[in-house]
Amino acid sequence: MSKRLEIAVIGGDARYLELIKKLTYSEKYTIHLIGYDQLDPGYFSVNYTDLSAINPEELAAVILPITGVSENGEINPVFSNQLITFPEDWFSQLADACFVFTGITTPFLDDQVKQHAIRLVALMDRDDVAIYNAIPTAEGTVMLAIQHMNITIHEAQVVILGLGRVGLIVADRFAKLGAKVAVGVRKTRDIAKANALGFIGFHLGDLLAYTEKCDLLINTIPVLVVNKSHLNTLKTDATIIDLASKPGGVDFDYAAKRGLNTIHALGLPAKVAPKTAGEILANVIDQLIAEH
């Protein structure tokens, strides 16, 4: 039997419990957990340790939290009260072939790439992860709509901004539930795509023509696209769900002044389907390591 590859999982949220479980089932890896001391020692049949006990030179992969590492080189783990701080030379000791997985990159990690040419993989930037994650995101959005709307989704006027990886699947799910879905986009080809898929496609510049009758407005674009003018035309009982990463695409302060029901729904896969989200990450990580 070939030697197992050593992987350090440093911090992470509920998604990582399933990720760790799935990687542990494989006989290819020896898993070291850092920042999990609040879990029962029997939860995983793996090595609970701390950063100082790990030899970076022996690692085939490092799995960092979805949120990456702070500008001070620190991780505040979910399953530990102990702050994790990387020594200044820690990343420089990693082997050239070692993968460093993170959800999103951060200035600290970008600096490590420049200084030490580490092999950094920002998982949330990958099409495969983003497309798979769009499924629990869409289901979570449906859940929020049911919880917060005072009408049924069936026959509701739903406006979705953006027809990217998330917007496409969200639009599909709401249309299948009987909503009347209009999709706002920037490019004429995306208007054609929306129309071909059975939605009503329109240019974002024409958003005002769609907000007046809107029951549910869903944004997936991570820049300000829903401004005061748009919010002034929304019905007082309309619901807004913003799926875009911070700072989002809605003027939240003005929406609050108008008393609009506005939800900035960040990290839905981790909240509504952490097991599925963890499996997605584990499968992609396993595949990338196997390929290289």
- For 114-170, the pLDDT digits (tens) are 999 999 999 999 999 999 999 999 999 999 999 999 999 999 999 999 999 999 999
Q: Residue 247, preceding bond cis, omega within 30 degrees?
A: yes
In-domain check, residue 286: no
Domain-located, residue 170? yes
Overall average pLDDT of the 13-30 stretch: 91
215 inside domain: yes
Q: What is the CB neighbour count within 10 angstroms for residue 1?
A: 5
User: What global pTM score does this model have?
Assistant: 0.85
Among 73, 98, 125, identify where a domain stops: 125
Same domain membership, residue 212 and residue 99: no
Show which of 66, 94, 125 is a domain's final residue.
125
Residue 278 forms part of a structural domain: no
Q: What's the confidence (pLDDT) of residue 265?
A: 97
How many CB atoms lie under 10 A from the CB of residue 152?
13
Beta carbons of 108 and 115 less than 8 angstroms apart: no
What SS3 class is residue 198? coil
Domain that holds residue 50: 5-125
Q: Is residue 40 scored above 90 in pLDDT?
A: no
Q: Which of 102, 238, 248 is nearest to 161 (CA)?
A: 248
pLDDT tens column, 220-254: 999 999 999 999 999 999 999 999 988 999 999 99
Q: How many domains does the chain fold into?
A: 2
Provide the percentage of residues in the chain whose pLDDT is more than 90: 90
Instruction: Indicate whether 19 and 121 sit together in one domain.
Output: yes
In a domain, 79, yes or no: yes
CATH number (domain holding residue 106):
3.40.50.720
> What pLDDT is attached to residue 75?
96
In a domain, 289, yes or no: no
pLDDT, averaged across the chain? 94
Closest by CA position to 99, among listed 123, 129, 128, 126: 123
Using CA atoms, how far residue 32 sits from 98, 117, 157, 204, in Å, is: 15, 23, 50, 48
In tens, the pLDDT along 79-98 reads 999 999 999 999 999 999 99
The whole-number pLDDT of residue 1 equals 45
CB 100 within 8 A of CB 121: yes
* Confidence band of 2 (pLDDT split at 50, 70, 90): low
CB count within 10 Å of CB 2 equals 6
Instruction: Give the residue, 44 or 286, on which the prediction is more confident.
Output: 286
Which of the listed residues 125, 148, 163 is the one where a domain comes to its end? Answer: 125
Residue 65 in domain: yes
Phi-psi region of 155 (alpha: psi -120 to 50; beta: other; left: phi over 0): left
Per-residue pLDDT of 180-206, as tens digits, reads 999 999 999 999 999 999 999 999 999
Closest CA to 200 of 235, 178, 175: 175
Between strands 157-161 and 180-185, the pairing is: parallel
d(CA 171, CA 189): 17
- 3-state helix, strand, coil split of the chain in percent (to 5) is 40, 20, 40
